[in-house]
Amino acid sequence: MKQKFLGTFLLSTLACMAAPAVRSNMLVSTDWLSQHLNDQKLVILHISGNRTAYDAGHVPGARFVPLSDFVTTRDGIPNELPAVADLKKVFEAAGVSDESRVILYGDTNVIPVTRAYFTLDYLGHGDQAALLDGGLDKWRGEGKTLAKDAVTVAQGSFTPRIKSEIVVQMDAVKQIAGKPVATSSEVLLDARPAGDYRGEKGSHIPGAVNSFWMDSQTSKDNQALRSEAALRTLYESLGVTPDKKVVTYCNSGMQASQSYFTLKYLGYDVKMYDGSMSEWNAKGQAVEK
């Protein structure tokens, strides 16, 4: 009888701890994209800090949007979200409409791309957006068609539906800071390199755990995400389990956007502290090493 009870209890516990389903619609493969290039409602955006790689050869039909269109400096804090009206203009100029399926990719760095995804998610369009897994490097490496022509873009009609809850403010972070990960229902995830997180080179928000965003990629040079199993092992080894709400941060909300994307892809309840260490330090908040 006792053994039966314990068995039932364990099964119940495991069911509660079961990993959430992967949000598979957040990633598309190069093969999928090559087969859907002519889809009427598909909008492909090449996101980067500059357009050098875009001009040298991009995915056919892709429109270039610079990273600078997705960030602004506010009250001395860099890389903050621009005004909603400005973001609406950016996406409409790129041809994005309410019914658009938006595919995002980059060239040498995935961070501008995940920042663009976070922005679309904030604007309420995240469920209709996805990253090209592996980016331009994978597309080019597979010998798929590249284009150099300028793309003529019809103006889109985009309606922002703001999800302010995914952007965490400093006061809310202060309520989480310092709480033990093992017993807290919320966890702070620092997405910076270990040297920035601790030691002589840096410090972090009290109680935060560290997972460098690049560790969720296949390699430093390969922007494809690691396998689901590897990613779950990576986060759960830090106590970042699916039953916890996660807030990602970094220096200024850029690296944290990659961790935000990855955790959301894994089915986690995740938000981002956009002000990150730039704001935390500027406001004189306590840190630990």
User: What pLDDT score does 150 carry?
Assistant: 80
Distance of alpha carbon 280 from alpha carbon 253, whole angstroms: 12
Question: Cα dist. 188→19, 44, 103, 160, 200 in Å?
Answer: 19, 32, 29, 28, 21
| Secondary structure E strands in 150-285 | 186-190, 209-210, 245-249, 269-272
Distance of alpha carbon 82 from alpha carbon 73, whole angstroms: 8
φ, ψ (nearest 5 deg) of residue 266: -75, -5
Question: Per the structure block, which two tokens stand in for 253?
Answer: 């909300």
Task: Write down the pTM of the prediction.
Answer: 0.93
Which of 131, 120, 119 is closest to 98 using CA atoms? 120
What domains can be seen in the chain, in order of their start residue?
24-162 (3.40.250.10), 167-282 (3.40.250.10)
Question: Per the structure block, which two tokens stand in for 46?
Answer: 């090449």
User: What pLDDT score does 10 carry?
Assistant: 37
Beta bridge partners of 48: 66
Compute CA 15 distance to the chain's CA centroid, rounded to the nearest angstrom: 28
| Secondary structure E strands in the chain | 27-28, 42-48, 63-66, 72-74, 77-80, 101-105, 129-132, 186-190, 209-210, 245-249, 269-272
Beta bridge partners of 246: 187, 270
User: What pLDDT score does 219 carry?
Assistant: 93
DSSP 8-state symbol, 60: T
**CA quadruple 21, 249, 85, 165: dihedral positive or negative?**
positive
Counting as low any pLDDT under 50, the low residues of the chain are 1-16
